[in-house]
Amino acid sequence: MSEATPKAREHWSGSLGFVLAAAGSAIGLGNIWKFPYITGENGGGAFVLVYLLCIAVIGLPVMICEIAIGRRTQRNPVGAFHELSPATSLLAHGIGLAVLLTGASLLLFRVWGWGAVLIAVGLLIFRFGWTLVGFMGVVAGFTILSFYSVVAGWTLGYILEAVTGRLNFTEVAQAKEFFGGFITNPAWAIGCHIAFMLMCIAIVAGGVKKGIERWSKILMPLLLLLLVALIIRALTLPGSTAGVRFYLRPDFSRITAQSVLIALGHAFFSLSLGMGAMITYGSYLSREQNLLSSSFSIVVLDTVIALMAGLAIFPAVFAYGFGPDAGPGLVFQVLPTVFHRMPLGVLWAAIFFLLLLVAALTSAISLLEVVTAYFIDERKWPRSRATWVMGGLITLLGVLCAISVADWSRLEFLHRALVWAFGGVKDSFFDVMDHISSNWLLPLGGFFISLFVGWIWGVKHAVDEIRHGSQNFADVHLISLLAGLKDDPSHNANPHVLTLASLWGIFIRFISPTAVLIAFLHTIGWLDFKPKPPAPPPAASVESAVENP
Ligand code: PHE
């Protein structure tokens, strides 16, 4: 284990800067677009409770892992894993061998695409060991941002459409048609996507303090303000209580194993876990700051904003007699119709899409920062070059997503190649990027990050790191803490068995990896808890394009 001394590195100006930037990363389209609609589809209040449990039991412990890795190493995810990994790891070699053998047997069965991919991954595991988890994060930064920026571009476009009065739908069907036309119009889709990426690049090029932190300190309060305004508007509409009841009254009969796993997957995406965003932001944290209370604040902020988004949306949706289960179209189709029926609808629609844009922007900069930090730290590129070159490449990949949101017709060649190699592919290039990142890279990243901290780097080293700036964490007896006796020396004198640190260690070593693995196997279809759903109608291509960001 190499103990390189941290180089001079730009840091956040203080805890507040860090917490706001990290909360900015966490709070995004996931909170305002996806959380309300998956809550709507999964029965409301009870789902919210399950989600809260996932956040507390899995999200918070993994968040602490990532920030601890980042602050300890003061490096991007690739450098961080490289620094903390042992020279050889039996576990890594074992996994590498298993992947390699699976790939080889697939080739025997003439499954060429997957066989080749698995063999390549197996070889990479042999070559890079745990450092590969860091590389996965950089790749995820690329793939997530490529489709995330397209959806963010739509919100930008919708602000313009709102203020020019074109979101004047009286029926959801009209809104649906308009949305379909909007996202498949290349000029709009590409133009808005590029404009969004330029904002993102400009902020990240400004650096940690003058770019990311400064903008987070402006944009996060703005976000809160817009959201509060929307909630007040929604709650004061006649008939809004039905929405509040749906949202807050738990009906546990609606909870299935399936919805628990959806909640867990979403907890990861929403907290920006599993791809090194929090490692990277943690690497700009100095050792005096309290890592534990910061992690706690980030998780609470992200959760509170998601809950508030539901409170802005459901009461309004119910007040105008719409259903809560419209799926991904909820915010782009149902809401504009709702706003149009309100007094001053143009204003509320513009405020809502501005809110969505702000949330997306602070998340997107963290995705770009992961990629940028790698090129700055490991390839020694100057920040401006790293940001513009990588931002430019991601923009190009995003253009492919933008033009292929509905189907493959504009990327026929690529489609044929993929079908040849992998048999079938998802509905569109946009879906493929989404699928690779949300269903594969993030869960696998989260799984390996907790495995790494729990079993390779070791809970002991991690706890030593967390201790700096948050003594209570490791050394105060949990019972004394809960009882309000943490400052009484005699209550902390016994051997510290039940401390926050020991509890965290157990979660990280056993509970998080197991839960994440189960969720992962479920998403890729190897575990099926569904009672046997009626065959779904073939999804309209536009709908499926926006399935899960
Ligand atoms: N957490 C962001 C959201 O909720 C998305 C994101 C995922 C950002 C992973 C960075 C890393 O929208």
Residue 545 has pLDDT above 60, yes or no: no
Counting every residue written for the chain, the total comes to: 549
Enclosing domain of residue 190 = 15-85+130-529
Residue 521 has pLDDT above 50, yes or no: yes
Residue 34 CA, ligand 1 centroid: distance in Å: 11
Q: How confident is the model at residue 493 (pLDDT cuts 50, 70, 90)?
A: low
Decide: 401 and 433 in contact? Cβ < 8 Å. yes
Answer whether residue 180 is part of any domain: yes
Residue 489 has pLDDT above 80, yes or no: no
Residue 508 has pLDDT above 70, yes or no: yes
Distances in Å between the Cα of 515 and the Cα atoms of 264, 436, 447, 451, 503 are: 8, 20, 9, 12, 16
Number of compact structural domains in the chain? 1
The SS3 assignment for 441 reads helix
**CB atoms < 10 A from the CB of 403, how many?**
20
Best probe residue, ligand 1, of 67, 145, 270 (max atoms within 8 Å of C-beta): 270
Answer whether residue 115 is part of any domain: no
Q: How confident is the model at residue 16 (pLDDT cuts 50, 70, 90)?
A: very high
Residue 479 CA, ligand 1 centroid: distance in Å: 35
Residue 28 CA, ligand 1 centroid: distance in Å: 6
Answer whether residue 324 is part of any domain: yes
CA separation for the pair 92, 488 (Å, rounded) = 45
Instruction: Copy the structure tokens of residue 310.
Output: 């539901």
User: Counting atoms of ligand 1 from 1, which one is nearest the CA of 29?
Assistant: 12
Across 398-424, average pLDDT = 85
Across 116-134, average pLDDT = 95
Write out residues with Cβ below 6 Å of ligand 1: 25-26, 28-31, 144, 269-270, 272, 275, 277, 363, 366-367
| pLDDT for res 490 | 72
CA separation for the pair 32, 310 (Å, rounded) = 8
CATH number at residue 369: 1.20.1740
Decide: 443 and 265 in contact? Cβ < 8 Å. yes
What residues pair up with 477 in beta bridges, in sequence order?
A: 499
Residue 151 phi, psi dihedral angles, 5° rounding: -65, -40
Which of 65-79, 384-398, 438-452 has the weakest average pLDDT?
438-452
| DSSP-assigned letter for residue 468 | T
Across 470-475, average pLDDT = 74
Best probe residue, ligand 1, of 38, 219, 270, 272 (max atoms within 8 Å of C-beta): 272
Instruction: Copy the structure tokens of residue 264.
Output: 């867990």
Decide: 263 and 51 in contact? Cβ < 8 Å. yes
Answer whether residue 539 is part of any domain: no
**pLDDT tens-digit map of 473-484:** 777 788 777 777
Q: How confident is the model at residue 4 (pLDDT cuts 50, 70, 90)?
A: very low
Residue 439 CA, ligand 1 centroid: distance in Å: 14
Answer whether residue 534 is part of any domain: no
Residue 546 has pLDDT above 60, yes or no: no
Q: Which residues contact 86 (CB under 8 A, 6 or more apart)?
A: 1, 456
Answer whether residue 538 is part of any domain: no
Residue 483 CA, ligand 1 centroid: distance in Å: 36
Residue 364 CA, ligand 1 centroid: distance in Å: 8
Distances in Å between the Cα of 249 and the Cα atoms of 51, 56, 236, 241, 296 are: 14, 20, 19, 11, 26
| pLDDT for res 418 | 84
User: Counting atoms of ligand 1 from 1, which one is nearest the CA of 359?
Assistant: 12
CA separation for the pair 229, 231 (Å, rounded) = 6
Residue 141 CA, ligand 1 centroid: distance in Å: 10
Q: Which residue has the higher pLDDT, 234 or 527?
A: 234
In the block, tokens 């690049």 appear at 201
Answer whether residue 238 is part of any domain: yes
User: Counting atoms of ligand 1 from 1, which one is nearest the CA of 141?
Assistant: 11
Residue 229 has pLDDT above 90, yes or no: yes
Across 4-23, average pLDDT = 84
Residue 142 CA, ligand 1 centroid: distance in Å: 13
Residue 540 has pLDDT above 50, yes or no: no
Which of 98-107, 110-119, 210-219, 487-496 has the weakest average pLDDT?
487-496
Q: For the chain, count helices (H), then strands (E).
A: 28, 0
Task: Give the mean pLDDT of the chain.
Answer: 89
Best probe residue, ligand 1, of 63, 142, 363, 437 (max atoms within 8 Å of C-beta): 363
Q: Which residues contact 459 (CB under 8 A, 6 or more apart)?
A: 453, 501, 504, 505, 508, 509
pTM of the model: 0.90
Q: Which residue has the higher pLDDT, 497 or 231?
A: 231
Answer whether residue 226 is part of any domain: yes
